[in-house]
Structure 1
Amino acid sequence: MVRLVMQQALSREWMEEVFERNRGKQYTRELMFSTVVDLMGLVALGLKPSLHAAAQASPELGVSLTALYDKVKRTEPEVVGALVRGSAERLAPVVKPMRQGRAPWAAGYVVRVLDGNHLAASEKRMKQLREFRGAALPGQSLVVYAPELDLVVDVVPAEDAHAQERALMGPVLEGVQPGELWLADRNFSTTRILFGIHDKKAAFVIREHGASPNPTQEEERREVGRVERGLVYEQAVRVEDETGRQLRLRRIELQLDEPTRHGETIIRLLTDVPAERMGAQEVAGLYRRRWSIESMFGRLESVLQSEVKSLGYPRAALFAFGVSVLAYNVLAVLQSAVEAEHRLEDSTIQVSSYYIADEVKFNYGGMMIALPEPTWQEYESQSAPELSRTLLGLAANVKVARLRKHPRKSKKKTKKEYVPGEVARRHVATARVLRGQEQT
């Protein structure tokens, strides 16, 4: 199933076309761009521990390791973004039939969740970093997630890890489509972004920043009811851009029963969704589901090799992240196929992407040896609906029990009191504690 989905999402001819359309100074001489993506994909899926190991095992590389790493560290961010967008467009018609019948997040809208992702500090292999004592951050990305398809549909990579997320919004706003509903946190609460989404005949639910866009109140707030976490209030407000244009919005205020981990007790949301289409309590509930993108980031980090610490050059690190996103989308399609074929949408049984990836790591290499390349050729001409049916047929053979998620129970919160340093640093022998022996 992995092999067939990758064949659909990342055909060699298509990847070379993407590279040629979006490259800047890069060019192809002996090393094909598709070969580099294939090698990095092996690392992302955990099939190889490093790019070096993947290259070592590749009989068709045909160039030196130095040439390979030069290609990787020069891959432009525009190419990475185009690769993610294009592959998501190719996979969306494959996964849509599998997810039919699921309740929409917001009736009448196509939901998009926006957030930023900062790559973790890299190793300091470059000479310029060796004397630097602090963390070396190789870059960041804006990520657009389609939760109803469980696909990442866009990535905007940025080499400057200290750049403001809102400053990277240009390409994202260009891609906004009519009928979409965008969820985002307060980093994106600016007049420019609110007007930019609204002007595209799309809608938004964005958490209000303390200082921006500083809307003008048009009425007193009024209580409209409760949700799981607190009281909900609503009021009409308006914002104005630099040209004097005005935009009337609803401010949804949630007064929390318990403070957030940052100590906040009030969350304010700005939305242009009409009240007749979505009530204030629905808006508050929908925004709470924005955390699905954080869950996706968690799976990227724990299931896939999304951050290769040995790749310190910003473009190399961003390229590795982009390929990991492609790998995530492949696994997400597989998960949707298994859930649809075994009718798990409304079941208490959940499928774990971790165990899916583990199965792939264990079996993929042997399969590729056992099944020669001609085996896959008959599937190359399949349309998206045909591939969807093929995947569902294969998913019927999957043993769901081996992929079942086992969520941990939530830990009871206990406040730790202050203790002196010598007590906090004291060692204990676990075996003695279990035997009830006194510690010395």
Structure 2
Amino acid sequence: MSGIAAKKGYFIIREHQCFPWYDASEFRHIGSVEGGTVFEQTVKVSDDEGYLSNIRRVKIILDETTRDGDSEIFILTNLPTKVANALVVAQIYRKRWTIETLFQILTEIFNCEIKTLGYPKAAMFAFCVALVSYNILSVVLAALRSIHGIKKIEQEVSSYYLADEIRGTYRGMMIAIPPKEWKIFAKMNLIELTNILRDLAARVNLVVFASHPRAPKKTRRALKRTRPSRRPHVSTAKILSQK
């Protein structure tokens, strides 16, 4: 963070437990955003280079705990209050999750980083193709959300299964449907195309694309190993050598 400030840049970063701040002011209630209540305070940090001194510390008390069980999160920023108040900082930070989800889909579903592509231009081209594919998937998901609801699509539909379905049927579809049949979509305006997508989305069987979220990991108790007193362990190699 000191390096960012040294370059006259700004940051919005989640606080970790080891962050060395001191001399904090009292929390001030700022307001509420989607998902929680926002408070703010000012803290001092020890910076040997002298680029950081007082920074803003934003606390969000969440309406629902995170998947890690956190009921509140803390965000650090050096943005001036007149540029972004605590509510804006909290909203900006929430968008971080959408960006992380995007890169997770690019990496795991669209394989945007092909290790065998050693040439920078080839690697960049593959990454751009993955981005275009993500845009197409986003349009499909938007059409589904407009018909079936945002919550149902975000919580119950798997982007992996959707992409796998497109990947599996694309070649056969392009053979079965001649290129001239696709030109009709190029002639549509935005409203017409939207209506077509909504009509198609209403016919989708969502059960086929149901996601299967992983259950929480169970903590395993460390078992203390004890050696049997009556039957001690004997090396098989030692017995064979004696025979």
Decide: shared fold, TM above 0.5.
Answer: yes
C-alpha change, 1:330 and 1:268, in structure 2 (3 Å) is: same
Residue 114 of structure 2 aligns with which residue? 308
For structure 1, list consecutive stretches of 5 or more residues without a partner in the other structure.
1-184, 195-204, 210-218, 238-248, 420-440
Residue 222 of structure 1 aligns with which residue? 26
C-alpha change, 1:405 and 1:270, in structure 2 (3 Å) is: farther
Residue 322 of structure 1 aligns with which residue? 128
Residue 187 of structure 2 aligns with which residue? 381
> Partners of 2:174 and 2:145 in 1: how far apart?
26
Contact residue 225 and residue 233 of structure 1 kept, 8 A: yes
> Partners of 2:2 and 2:94 in 1: how far apart?
13
* Deviation digits for residues 309-353 of structure 1 (CA, Å, limit 9, x no counterpart): 2211111111111111111111111111112122x2134843211
* Deviation digits for residues 354-377 of structure 1 (CA, Å, limit 9, x no counterpart): 011111122111111011011011
- Amino acid aligned to 1:318: M
Which of 214, 235, 238 is the matching residue for 2:42?
A: 235
Residue 393 of structure 1 aligns with which residue? 199
- Amino acid aligned to 2:200: L
Contact residue 189 and residue 208 of structure 1 kept, 8 A: no
Does the alignment pair 1:350 with 2:132? no
* Deviation digits for residues 101-124 of structure 1 (CA, Å, limit 9, x no counterpart): xxxxxxxxxxxxxxxxxxxxxxxx
> Partners of 1:302 and 1:192 in 2: how far apart?
35
Q: SS where residue 204 of structure 2 aligns? A: coil
Q: SS where residue 150 of structure 2 aligns? A: coil
Q: Superposition RMSD on alpha carbons, in Å?
A: 4.2
- Amino acid aligned to 1:326: V
Alignment of 1:101-250 (within 5 A): 191-194=7-10, 206-207=12-13, 221-224=25-28, 232-235=39-42
Residue 404 of structure 1 aligns with which residue? 210
- Determine which structure has more spread, i.e. the larger CA radius of gyration: 2
Contact residue 335 and residue 351 of structure 1 kept, 8 A: no
1:250 Cα offset (Å): 7.0
For structure 2, list consecutive stretches of 5 or more residues without a partner in the other structure.
16-22, 45-53, 62-67, 226-243
- Amino acid aligned to 1:223: F
Residue 269 of structure 1 aligns with which residue? 77
- Amino acid aligned to 2:158: S
* Deviation digits for residues 67-105 of structure 1 (CA, Å, limit 9, x no counterpart): xxxxxxxxxxxxxxxxxxxxxxxxxxxxxxxxxxxxxxx
Q: Number of residues paired by the alignment? A: 194
Contact residue 223 and residue 232 of structure 1 kept, 8 A: yes
Which of 102, 115, 139 is the matching residue for 1:333?
A: 139
Contact residue 144 and residue 198 of structure 2 kept, 8 A: yes
C-alpha change, 1:255 and 1:402, in structure 2 (3 Å) is: closer
1:222 Cα offset (Å): 2.3
> Partners of 1:409 and 1:270 in 2: how far apart?
38
Q: Which has the higher contact order (CA 8 A, sep 6+)?
A: 1
Contact residue 207 and residue 268 of structure 1 kept, 8 A: yes
> Partners of 2:12 and 2:3 in 1: how far apart?
9
Does the alignment pair 1:360 with 2:166? yes
Residue 240 of structure 1 aligns with which residue? none
C-alpha change, 1:341 and 1:253, in structure 2 (3 Å) is: closer
1:253 Cα offset (Å): 4.3
> Partners of 1:188 and 1:251 in 2: how far apart?
15
1:272 Cα offset (Å): 3.8
1:289 Cα offset (Å): 4.5
1:254 Cα offset (Å): 4.6
C-alpha change, 1:415 and 1:287, in structure 2 (3 Å) is: farther
1:387 Cα offset (Å): 1.6
> Partners of 1:388 and 1:207 in 2: how far apart?
38
> Partners of 1:308 and 1:334 in 2: how far apart?
25
Residue 251 of structure 1 aligns with which residue? 56
Contact residue 189 and residue 206 of structure 1 kept, 8 A: no
Residue 48 of structure 2 aligns with which residue? none
C-alpha change, 1:252 and 1:353, in structure 2 (3 Å) is: same
* Deviation digits for residues 194-237 of structure 1 (CA, Å, limit 9, x no counterpart): 4xxxxxxxxxx62399xxxxxxxxx96321369999x9542399
